[in-house]
Amino acid sequence: MNAGLPRPQFFRVAESARRPVSFVLDGKPATALEGDTVLTAILSCAGHVRRNEFSGQPRAGFCMMGACQDCWVQTADGEKLRACSTFIRAGMQLLTDAPGESQ
Ligand code: FES
Protein backbone atom coordinates (compact mmCIF):
# COMPACT_ATOMS: atom_id res chain seq x y z
CA MET A 1 0.00 0.00 0.00
CA ASN A 2 2.86 2.38 0.81
CA ALA A 3 5.44 0.38 -1.10
CA GLY A 4 8.68 2.09 -1.95
CA LEU A 5 8.47 4.56 0.93
CA PRO A 6 10.93 4.53 3.82
CA ARG A 7 10.22 2.96 7.20
CA PRO A 8 7.40 4.87 8.93
CA GLN A 9 7.78 6.80 12.17
CA PHE A 10 4.20 6.03 13.32
CA PHE A 11 2.43 2.68 13.53
CA ARG A 12 -1.34 2.49 13.85
CA VAL A 13 -2.64 0.57 16.80
CA ALA A 14 -6.32 1.65 16.65
CA GLU A 15 -8.95 3.28 14.43
CA SER A 16 -7.91 1.41 11.33
CA ALA A 17 -11.51 1.18 10.05
CA ARG A 18 -11.73 4.77 8.76
CA ARG A 19 -11.97 5.27 4.97
CA PRO A 20 -8.64 5.26 3.10
CA VAL A 21 -7.40 8.48 1.47
CA SER A 22 -4.94 8.21 -1.42
CA PHE A 23 -2.21 10.80 -1.76
CA VAL A 24 1.29 11.04 -3.22
CA LEU A 25 4.38 11.27 -1.02
CA ASP A 26 7.68 12.10 -2.70
CA GLY A 27 6.28 10.90 -6.02
CA LYS A 28 5.08 7.54 -4.71
CA PRO A 29 1.49 6.49 -4.06
CA ALA A 30 0.58 6.46 -0.37
CA THR A 31 -2.52 5.89 1.72
CA ALA A 32 -3.75 7.60 4.88
CA LEU A 33 -7.06 7.39 6.70
CA GLU A 34 -9.86 9.94 6.55
CA GLY A 35 -9.43 12.40 9.41
CA ASP A 36 -5.65 12.05 9.59
CA THR A 37 -3.61 15.22 9.74
CA VAL A 38 -0.97 15.61 7.06
CA LEU A 39 1.60 14.94 9.80
CA THR A 40 -0.01 11.63 10.75
CA ALA A 41 -0.45 10.69 7.11
CA ILE A 42 3.21 11.33 6.29
CA LEU A 43 4.68 9.78 9.43
CA SER A 44 2.53 6.67 8.95
CA CYS A 45 4.38 6.20 5.65
CA ALA A 46 7.80 7.78 6.21
CA GLY A 47 10.34 8.68 8.85
CA HIS A 48 10.25 12.48 8.56
CA VAL A 49 8.09 15.34 7.26
CA ARG A 50 10.87 17.68 6.14
CA ARG A 51 14.58 18.44 6.45
CA ASN A 52 15.99 21.25 8.55
CA GLU A 53 16.81 24.16 6.27
CA PHE A 54 20.24 24.68 7.86
CA SER A 55 21.52 21.24 8.86
CA GLY A 56 19.61 19.05 6.42
CA GLN A 57 18.66 16.78 9.31
CA PRO A 58 15.25 15.06 9.17
CA ARG A 59 12.44 16.59 11.25
CA ALA A 60 9.17 14.96 12.34
CA GLY A 61 7.38 17.82 14.08
CA PHE A 62 7.56 18.39 17.81
CA CYS A 63 4.47 19.78 19.54
CA MET A 64 1.78 18.19 17.32
CA MET A 65 -0.54 21.12 18.14
CA GLY A 66 0.41 24.02 15.90
CA ALA A 67 2.77 25.85 18.24
CA CYS A 68 6.38 24.97 17.35
CA GLN A 69 6.34 25.48 13.55
CA ASP A 70 8.56 22.43 13.08
CA CYS A 71 6.26 20.62 10.67
CA TRP A 72 5.97 22.90 7.65
CA VAL A 73 5.83 20.71 4.55
CA GLN A 74 5.76 21.62 0.88
CA THR A 75 3.34 20.39 -1.76
CA ALA A 76 4.43 19.56 -5.31
CA ASP A 77 2.98 22.88 -6.52
CA GLY A 78 5.00 24.90 -3.99
CA GLU A 79 2.34 25.49 -1.35
CA LYS A 80 3.58 25.25 2.23
CA LEU A 81 1.33 23.95 4.95
CA ARG A 82 1.60 23.15 8.63
CA ALA A 83 1.30 19.38 8.69
CA CYS A 84 0.00 18.97 12.24
CA SER A 85 -2.99 21.28 11.73
CA THR A 86 -3.98 20.41 8.16
CA PHE A 87 -6.14 17.42 7.29
CA ILE A 88 -5.00 15.10 4.51
CA ARG A 89 -7.06 15.33 1.32
CA ALA A 90 -7.27 12.85 -1.53
CA GLY A 91 -4.79 13.63 -4.29
CA MET A 92 -2.45 15.79 -2.22
CA GLN A 93 1.12 15.65 -3.50
CA LEU A 94 3.54 16.16 -0.62
CA LEU A 95 7.33 16.47 -0.55
CA THR A 96 9.43 15.62 2.47
CA ASP A 97 12.78 16.59 0.97
CA ALA A 98 11.86 19.88 -0.70
CA PRO A 99 14.31 22.74 -0.17
CA GLY A 100 13.17 24.26 3.13
CA GLU A 101 13.00 27.72 4.53
CA SER A 102 11.82 29.13 7.82
CA GLN A 103 8.16 30.04 8.18
S1 FES B 1 4.38 19.91 15.13
FE2 FES B 1 4.54 21.83 16.11
S3 FES B 1 3.52 23.22 14.78
FE4 FES B 1 3.25 21.27 13.88
- Residue 1 in this model has a pLDDT that exceeds 60: no
DSSP letter at 11?
Answer: -
CA 13 to ligand 1 centroid distance, Å: 22
Rounded-to-10 torsion of CA 24, 77, 85, 31: -10
Q: Give the pocket of ligand 1 (CB within 6 Å).
A: 61-64, 66-71, 82, 84
Ligand 1, atom 3: closest residue by C-alpha: 66
Separation CA 33–CA 27 (nearest Å): 19
- Residue 71 in this model has a pLDDT that exceeds 90: yes
**String of DSSP letters for 68-98:** S-TTEEEETTS-EEEGGGSB--TT-EEESSS
The whole-model pTM stands at 0.88
What percentage of the chain has pLDDT greater than the value 90? 76
CA 91 to ligand 1 centroid distance, Å: 23
